[in-house]
Amino acid sequence: MRDLQTVDLSARVGALTFKNPIMPASGTFSEDLADVFDLDVLGAHVLKTIMHGTRTGNPTPRVCDMQAGMINAIGIPSKGIDYFRDEMLPYWAAFNAPLVVSISAHSVDEFAQLCSEVSLPGVTAIEANISCPNIEADGNAFAMRPDTTHEVVTRLRAATDLPLWAKLTPNTGEPVEVARAAQDAGADALVVANTMLGMSIDIDTRRPRLGNVMGGMSGPAVKPIALRMTYQCARACDIPVIGCGGISTLEDVLEFLIAGASAVQVGTATFQSPTVMARLITELEDWMTSRGLISLDQIINTLEAPNAGVFK
Amino acid sequence: MRDLQTVDLSARVGALTFKNPIMPASGTFSEDLADVFDLDVLGAHVLKTIMHGTRTGNPTPRVCDMQAGMINAIGIPSKGIDYFRDEMLPYWAAFNAPLVVSISAHSVDEFAQLCSEVSLPGVTAIEANISCPNIEADGNAFAMRPDTTHEVVTRLRAATDLPLWAKLTPNTGEPVEVARAAQDAGADALVVANTMLGMSIDIDTRRPRLGNVMGGMSGPAVKPIALRMTYQCARACDIPVIGCGGISTLEDVLEFLIAGASAVQVGTATFQSPTVMARLITELEDWMTSRGLISLDQIINTLEAPNAGVFK
Amino acid sequence: MNHIPTTVSVPVPQGLRPRCAEATCFVRSNTPVNGEYRLLTLDAPEAILDCQPGQFFQLLCPQPDGEHPFLRRPMSIYGYDKAEGRLEFLYKVTGAGTRGLATLRAGDAFNVLGPLGQGFSMQDDWQNLMLVARGVGLATLAPLARMAREKGRKLTAICSARSPELTMSVDLFESYGAEVIIVHDKDGSSTPEALRPLIEARIAKGDVDAFYTCGSSRLLRLLQDLGETHGIPGEIAMEQQMACGLGMCQACVRSFRVGGRVIQRRVCREGPVFPISEAM
Amino acid sequence: MNHIPTTVSVPVPQGLRPRCAEATCFVRSNTPVNGEYRLLTLDAPEAILDCQPGQFFQLLCPQPDGEHPFLRRPMSIYGYDKAEGRLEFLYKVTGAGTRGLATLRAGDAFNVLGPLGQGFSMQDDWQNLMLVARGVGLATLAPLARMAREKGRKLTAICSARSPELTMSVDLFESYGAEVIIVHDKDGSSTPEALRPLIEARIAKGDVDAFYTCGSSRLLRLLQDLGETHGIPGEIAMEQQMACGLGMCQACVRSFRVGGRVIQRRVCREGPVFPISEAM
Ligand SMILES: Cc1cc2nc3c(=O)[nH]c(=O)nc-3n(C[C@H](O)[C@H](O)[C@H](O)COP(=O)(O)OP(=O)(O)OC[C@H]3O[C@@H](n4cnc5c(N)ncnc54)[C@H](O)[C@@H]3O)c2cc1C
Ligand SMILES: Cc1cc2nc3c(=O)[nH]c(=O)nc-3n(C[C@H](O)[C@H](O)[C@H](O)COP(=O)(O)OP(=O)(O)OC[C@H]3O[C@@H](n4cnc5c(N)ncnc54)[C@H](O)[C@@H]3O)c2cc1C
Ligand SMILES: Cc1cc2nc3c(=O)[nH]c(=O)nc-3n(C[C@H](O)[C@H](O)[C@H](O)COP(=O)(O)O)c2cc1C
Ligand SMILES: Cc1cc2nc3c(=O)[nH]c(=O)nc-3n(C[C@H](O)[C@H](O)[C@H](O)COP(=O)(O)O)c2cc1C
Ligand code: FES
Ligand code: FES
């Protein structure tokens, strides 16, 4: 019997179904990657966060190395909503892969307005970047606290009929409370998580390695943080969680799925190897085949955790 | 003139002066290291956190690997205050290097009582581990919030005349507020920081790699987090900061000093190379000599940060 | 690979010849032994070659392609020779660290820390020794053969494996004059039920003053039971996940039954060798 | 080194021959050129050898002892030959990544991503070319020599260095028929003040239709000034810290003055070659 069944990679995230659970992380993906592989193999396309007006972003240098990862302080350079609607949307709408648009803003009003303005045909879901540590000083973003999260997600919920994802930050001390606040306010899914605030100094010049002094850490070094938060949020919430942080190998993908993620986003790994997402899809399929698994349900949320009860 | 001056490695931490700024991090050091090098070369000795009664610690496995670091869920196995007073203190008091005793407790009362009981002759300073993420579920410790920090440090301050250091956690979303709370409550110095809560899963068994499911990340992967917090706390507070997190090379030591640390603690690096602390002392001296520097004051808090104003 | 300079000398307490040290060794060879096992032979400095059977080293494993072992990996001393400057490990490739070990080639530099822990004892009245080992446990017990010969003891080695081809170190035991009994899963001779009468027969002949074993909890229970019944002491080498290997971190504890109480001991420091009667 | 398997083939859009690709190359040689520079010569697959002078590759650098470069490092194409399957980089050892490059030995596998970015143009009416380069900028400008010869253009190369011994690539320029002028710091011939009359004399003779340069902001300002005064266009190759190298992350922006406005462009995508008149 088993031989007759084929592996079904499809991933359900609330009401949406993606043909596989692999999608890019916001800010690490653009049309430029189409030079390297066929972007339609991806489960979804997630765009760099856009803001309402045009913005330059942070001073350079905007990136630096660390052991097993990188730190970025790109900021959110943005060409604004008009450019998105007129130039970007038509380009992405031509793909089969569903389009997820990431948005952000400095105030709740602006956020809600942008949310309603990007709710256009061709857009499949909206990812609310309520967590970018570069927008406000010291990493303070809406997602740092349950109350501010609840407030902004409530307003975003009212502003769109599209599926709404809230992207959380690992910089908060209350990840579970923030996740619940997003759920209670009507988010359809959680993206867990954005970058961790860090810093690096050039000892020869005694200057920060980033123009912005501090920046967001990503890559393998932060994977255990994102995995822990994914596990915490998946246990605490009923809405699906999309894992994100340091994913670069098949083992990483499986760790997040086992911890409870319904899908995953891949960021920094694409900078090391632009074809990594396409490879992960193939490797996941091969791995499932070799183990006789036919559905992601046989992997997602299957952690054997005898002592897990002691954690919230 | 310069040739006549010799490098002075001594490090001032409030009223205390250490002969150099290198000391071990709590929990990564014990008398066993005396088999490897002369422990009197160190700036100070910092012991594994003790609690009042006897405790077993967490289930095994207690440690696992990650890229560029490790995760531990040792917990605080403790032989209690009597064993400390009768067995450990006499051993450590025989060294010239000053002794720093790390303590912790589950309640403010117990914490204060232990603090007063360990304030014995032979003890130079007390490090309050108000941040160990394994003690309470999900990493919630006193140092997660300014109010609980203020409360416990106030009580500890009243319980001892010895210099009191507060060891902070990177798991909080309010590191600066917590640091200020510790300072306001009378701490003499801050140790920045303890481990970051993370998790790892064995995909073959689908079990957590740690008996305790989650644990504290340490090593090079977390260095940018600890460095960022050191910088934030050193700018926000008047009391000295002792940097801790991922320090394994001379460059790391210098990064923390430049960011504002008055001294540093070395933990996980000792597991990779037990002689690392002794080497760092020599390398620091050589580096200063080669650059004609004679005092740590020429390094500490010398970050050139044109944009730093935008950060708290 | 991680960068651990070993050229910088560090101050050592007056009069203390380091009991253990970090040292850079050079690979002589690193060859497959049978299916899953490899033998790593190193040129090692004298300073780290005052070893006891049962002690171990903490190996800083190279990073194999795409994997990143960070902590050192504990490995029993399989062979050592101070005069020749030789140190050997017999290892099974199981994960990132041992896959890293498998990449070592002749001439490579390789950082080790040791010797660590407490080795086997061989008390004066333990004249007739019986060793029961399986799989990688043989790596740990093998140096007992030379020790037994040096001390003029009689050694019987029961070597257990999945199938007869997979037994290891038989030649080594025999070269030191040990009697070797091979048992295996294929014919059922390796089960505790089959081993019990075999061992009891030897005990009856007065041929067993002490047991040595390693690893398998089925064997441990069998030997604990036989030991208690017949008043035969013995030692077991145990394993546990480690970080420091020196006794500092308390990662490697296991529970032991001592005088009616259950206590925790560090495998790296109080062990890895413990009395069979106390192991759990 | 990081693990990037390149054997798995990935789906590429119908009809698109990848403009750039990840590929495993093999090191032919990696030799010192003078004090600080090294020449890395690779055996490279055909698929990545449709290069233009001025384009670059993103190199996945091996980890040197104790250092951990994570991001790829951008390097200009110094030489390439599709027929021969050869790709060359001339690099200066400055930090962790380039120290890692320096550890590569003949036969080593090495992962590169490219060719990337927009190379130099050589418009039809640019018949007399003048190139002004210093230090590592020579690595970027060197392939222009062959391009000029192939297109039958006349090339004058002003090579600047700290001292005469440190000039590089002079033979390479001359082998393609370029006239080489060496200037250096020791006799002061490399300052903008000394270069200006030298270049102006050539301009006066009608010998300069276009400039090419790279790197130094003092040279840029001199050439911008001369270009504006005499109506001479030109191109500059610029540098900036990069993460992706493909245009995705916006790490590598620089400011440009275009039509009275200051705009930001990505060095990796719109560049690294830009009009001299727009550079800032
Ligand atoms: C004192 C002692 C002596 C040993 N002697 C030998 C020997 O001579 N030959 C041999 O092949 N093996 C021996 N082992 C087991 C060996 O340490 C492990 O097989 C090895 O650490 C596995 O590492 P890995 O990265 O390949 O596997 P992984 O499974 O990827 O290791 C993951 C982590 O778990 C730890 N770990 C995994 N298995 C064990 C284990 N059995 N014991 C302790 N830690 C483990 C690793 O050290 C690492 O930190 C010994 C273990 C101990 C404690
Ligand atoms: C398009 C382009 C072409 C280049 N061509 C060459 C060449 O042909 N030969 C050559 O020697 N160098 C060239 N460089 C510079 C080269 O990229 C850097 O010297 C190299 O990245 C330094 O890396 P490192 O780790 O050794 O130094 P580190 O100083 O340790 O690098 C730290 C970080 O800064 C980045 N960085 C440092 N210097 C530069 C720089 N000048 N430009 C961009 N990023 C930098 C590194 O990539 C790394 O991310 C080029 C740069 C660019 C952008
Ligand atoms: C260069 C860069 C730019 C990023 N820009 C954004 C962004 O605009 N919006 C956002 O929500 N996250 C952004 N991120 C965070 C990523 O989407 C992702 O959450 C994070 O990098 C962790 O995943 P990774 O380790 O796989 O990269 C950015 C990350 C990087 C490295
Ligand atoms: C095995 C282990 C045990 C630790 N135990 C303690 C402890 O008992 N008390 C404490 O305050 N910190 C403890 N820590 C945290 C360290 O003191 C240090 O803050 C942390 O590891 C970061 O530094 P590092 O990266 O240099 O190790 C422990 C860390 C490790 C790795
Ligand atoms: S491994 Fe650290 S105490 Fe045993
Ligand atoms: S390096 Fe990423 S956009 Fe240029």
The answer to whether B220 contacts D66, with C-beta atoms less than 8 Å apart, is no
- Closest atom, ligand 2, to C-alpha of D74: 17
Whether residue C209 is predicted with pLDDT greater than 60 in this model: the reply is yes
Which CATH fold topology does A11-298 show?
A: TIM Barrel (3.20.20)
Among residues A132, A233, A237, A244, which one is catalytic? A132
| Ligand 3 pocket mutation pick from A218, A222, A223, A271 by most atoms within 8 angstroms of CB | A218
Contacts of C169 (CB under 8 A, 6+ apart): C90, C138, C139, C142, C159
Write out the two tokens for A130.
């309520």
- SS3 state of residue B268: coil
Which among B59, B67, B201 is the nearest to A255, CB-wise? B201
Contacts of B301 (CB under 8 A, 6+ apart): B234, B257, B258, B259, B260
Whether residue C17 is predicted with pLDDT greater than 70 in this model: the reply is no
Q: CA nearest A142: which of A114, A99, A174?
A: A174
- Closest atom, ligand 2, to C-alpha of D272: 1
Q: Is D243 in the pocket of ligand 3 (CB under 6 A)?
A: yes
Q: Cα–Cα distances in Å, from B227 out to A172, B46, B158, B273, D70?
A: 17, 20, 30, 22, 19
In angstroms, what separates the C-alpha of B179 from chain C's closest C-alpha? 27
pLDDT score at C13? 53
Q: Cα–Cα distances in Å, from B171 out to A225, B132, B142, B192?
A: 10, 10, 11, 12
For tokens 């025999």, name the residue. Answer: C174
Contacting partners of chain C (3+ CB pairs under 8 A): A, B, D
Give dist(CA C266, CA D66) in Å, integer: 31
Give dist(CA B189, CA D191) in Å, integer: 53
Average pLDDT of span A235-239? 98
Whether residue C5 is predicted with pLDDT greater than 50 in this model: the reply is no
The answer to whether A57 contacts D253, with C-beta atoms less than 8 Å apart, is yes
Separation of B78 CA from ligand 1 center, angstroms? 27
Q: Is A266 in the pocket of ligand 3 (CB under 6 A)?
A: yes
Q: Domain limits of chain B?
A: 11-298
Q: Whose CA is nearest to atom 10 of ligand 4?
A: B26
Mean pLDDT, chain A, integer: 93
pLDDT score at D19? 77
Write out the two tokens for C73.
């990996």
Known active-site residue B244: no
Average pLDDT of span C20-35? 92
Write out the two tokens for C124.
């004066």
Domains of chain D, CATH where assigned: 6-116 (2.40.30.10), 128-239 (3.40.50.80)
Whether residue D31 is predicted with pLDDT greater than 70 in this model: the reply is yes
pLDDT tens digits for D57-78? 999 999 998 899 999 999 999 9
Counting Cα atoms < 13 Å in the Cβ hemisphere of B79 gives 14
Quick one: three-class SS letters along A208-263? ECCCCCEEEEECHHHHHHHHHHHHHHHHHCCCCEEEECCCCCHHHHHHHHHHCEEE
A34 touches C: beta carbon within 8 Å: no
Give the ipTM of the model, two decimals please. 0.95
> In a 10 Å sphere around its CB, with 0-12 CB exposed, 13-18 middle and 19+ buried, how is residue B246 labelled?
buried
Report strand pairing: D73-76 vs C109-116.
unpaired
The answer to whether A225 contacts B308, with C-beta atoms less than 8 Å apart, is no
Average pLDDT of span D228-250? 96
Q: CA nearest A48: which of A108, A125, A118, A127?
A: A127
Separation of D249 CA from ligand 6 center, angstroms? 5
Q: Is B28 in the pocket of ligand 4 (CB under 6 A)?
A: yes
> In a 10 Å sphere around its CB, with 0-12 CB exposed, 13-18 middle and 19+ buried, how is residue B12 labelled?
middle
B68 touches D: beta carbon within 8 Å: yes
pLDDT tens digits for C240-250? 999 999 999 99
pLDDT tens digits for C94-117? 999 999 999 999 999 999 999 999
pLDDT score at C11? 63
In angstroms, what separates the C-alpha of D235 from chain A's closest C-alpha? 23
What is the percent of chain A where pLDDT is above 90?
A: 90
In angstroms, what separates the C-alpha of A90 from chain C's closest C-alpha? 39
Q: Whose CA is nearest to atom 5 of ligand 4?
A: B27
Separation of C62 CA from ligand 3 center, angstroms? 31
The pTM for the full model equals 0.96
Q: CA nearest D203: which of D125, D121, D129?
A: D129
Beta bridge partners of D237: D214, D273
Q: How many CB pairs lie under 8 A apart between chains C and D?
A: 12
Torsion of CA D57, D86, D105, C58, to 10 degrees: 50
pLDDT score at A3? 53
pLDDT score at D2? 42
Element (H, E) at A277: helix A276-290
Give dist(CA B106, CA B129) in Å, integer: 11
pLDDT score at C9? 58
Give the confidence band of D5 by pLDDT, cuts at 50, 70, 90: very low
C148 DSSP 8-state letter: H
* C-beta of residue B123 within 8 angstroms of C-beta of residue B101: yes
Give dist(CA A89, CA A81) in Å, integer: 10
Backbone angles phi, psi at A66, to 5 degrees: -145, 175
Q: Cα–Cα distances in Å, from B287 out to A204, B10, D251?
A: 12, 15, 33
Q: Cα–Cα distances in Å, from A106 out to A57, A111, A136, A211?
A: 14, 7, 8, 21
pLDDT tens digits for D150-165? 999 999 999 988 888 8
Give the confidence band of C76 by pLDDT, cuts at 50, 70, 90: very high
For residue B139, give the amino acid letter. G
Contacting partners of chain B (3+ CB pairs under 8 A): A, C, D
- Count the Cβ atoms, other than its own, within 10 Å of residue A87: 10
Q: CA nearest D115: which of D42, D27, D26, D22?
A: D22
pLDDT score at D135? 81
C66 touches A: beta carbon within 8 Å: yes
Q: CA nearest B76: which of B100, B48, B101, B45?
A: B48
Give dist(CA D226, CA B91) in Å, integer: 77
Choose the weakest-confidence range: B219-228, D137-146, D259-268: D137-146
For tokens 């002003």, name the residue. Answer: D158
DSSP annotation string for chain D: -------S-----TT---SSEEEEEEEEEEEEEETTEEEEEEE--GGG----TT-EEEE-PPPPTT----S-EEEE--EEETTTTEEEEEEE--SHHHHHHTT--TT-EEEEEEEESB-----TT--EEEEEEETTHHHHHTHHHHHHHHTT-EEEEEEEESSGGG--SHHHHHHTT-EEEEEETTTTTTSHHHHHHHHHHHHHTT--SEEEEES-HHHHHHHHHHHHHHT--EEEE-----SSSSSSS-TTEEEEEETTEEEEEETTTT-BEEEGGGB-
